[in-house]
C-alpha cells in the first residue's frame, strides 16, 4: 500500500525554529513535495526533493533520506503568517498522481 | 497572471440535483487533476487527465465524471450528488505528469450536499 504519515498538529513560538517530519511507504519514489496551505485556501508549492540531502530556500529547508523513507521541513525565524497546514506529498512514479499526507497544522504564537 | 480558476467557490445543493464545477487554467498545462480534501484524510485524487480527451480514474472516482474537450478546461460533474460528497474540492494542473512537475492548485470549491 501507499502511506504517508505526518503529525497532525504542532505549535511553535514566533522567531523560533520548527521541524515537521514526514515518513512514507510507497511502491516507488520519484520525489517528495512540500506544500503550504492556509486555512480555506489552495495548497502552494514550497519545495521538492528527489535526492538525499538538504535543500535550502530562504527560511525554509527540506531534507530527504530515501533509505529511511523520511523527510522533514524546517522553518526558521518563524512568523505569524507561517501558521498554516503543511502537506507532504510523494510521487510514487507510474501512477500519474501525487499521494498526500493528511497535513500538519502549525500554529505560531507570539 | 498564471492561474487555475474554479467556479463556483461555494455551493449548497440537495441530494440528486446534478451539478458541475468548472476548472480552467491559462498555463497551457497538459496534466489536470481533481482532488477532494476531507478532515484527517488529506487530498485524495478523484480523476486526472494527461491531455485532451485522455482521462482516467484516481483513488475515489465513484459518483463523479469528468471531461477534457479543451486543454484549458477540466469540469467535474456530479450526476446525482449525495451527502457523502460534501467536501472541499481542488482542481490542479501541471505542465505534464512527471518527475519534479509542480502542481498548481485552484482556489477550491466548498460543496455542501443536503
Contact B90, B106 (CB under 8 A): yes
Residue identified by cell 480558476 is B5
Contacts of A96 in chain B (CB under 8 A): 31, 48, 50, 56, 97
What pLDDT score does B2 carry? Answer: 81
Matching residue, cell 502552494? A44
The chain-wide mean pLDDT, for chain A, equals: 94
Residues pairing with A14 in the sheet: none
pLDDT band at A1 (very low <50, low <70, confident <90, very high): confident
Q: Per-residue pLDDT tens for B29-53?
A: 999 999 999 988 889 999 999 999 9
What is the rounded CA–CA span in Å between residue B1 and residue A18?
33
Better pLDDT: B20 or A94: B20
- Intervals of chain B under pLDDT 50: none
Interface contact flag, A100 B104, Cβ < 8 Å:
no
CB atoms within 10 A of CB A81: 8
Cβ <8 Å between B106 and A42: yes
Whose CA is closest to B84, among B108, B111, B46? Answer: B111
Amino acid at each position: 500500500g501507499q502511506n504517508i504519515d505526518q503529525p497532525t498538529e504542532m505549535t511553535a513560538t514566533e522567531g523560533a525554529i520548527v521541524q515537521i517530519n514526514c515518513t512514507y511507504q510507497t511502491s516507488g519514489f520519484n520525489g517528495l513535495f512540500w506544500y503550504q496551505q492556509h486555512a480555506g485556501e489552495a495548497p502552494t508549492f514550497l519545495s521538492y526533493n528527489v535526492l538525499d540531502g538538504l535543500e535550502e530556500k530562504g527560511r525554509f529547508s527540506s531534507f530527504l533520506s530515501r533509505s529511511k523513507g523520511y523527510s522533514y521541513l524546517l522553518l526558521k525565524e518563524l512568523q505569524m503568517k507561517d501558521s498554516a497546514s503543511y502537506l507532504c506529498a510523494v510521487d510514487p512514479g507510474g501512477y500519474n498522481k501525487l499521494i498526500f499526507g493528511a497535513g500538519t497544522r502549525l500554529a505560531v504564537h507570539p | 497572471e498564471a492561474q487555475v480558476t474554479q467556479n463556483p467557490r461555494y455551493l449548497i445543493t440537495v441530494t440528486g440535483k446534478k451539478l458541475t464545477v468548472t476548472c480552467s487554467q491559462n498555463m497551457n498545462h497538459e496534466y489536470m487533476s481533481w482532488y477532494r480534501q476531507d478532515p484527517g484524510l488529506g487530498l485524495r485524487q478523484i480523476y486526472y487527465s494527461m491531455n485532451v480527451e485522455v482521462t482516467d480514474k484516481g483513488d475515489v472516482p465513484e459518483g463523479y465524471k469528468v471531461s477534457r474537450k479543451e486543454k484549458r478546461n477540466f469540469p467535474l460533474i456530479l450526476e446525482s450528488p449525495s451527502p457523502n460528497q460534501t467536501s472541499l474540492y481542488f482542481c490542479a494542473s501541471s505542465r505534464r505528469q512527471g518527475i519534479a512537475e509542480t502542481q498548481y492548485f485552484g482556489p477550491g470549491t466548498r460543496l455542501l450536499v443536503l
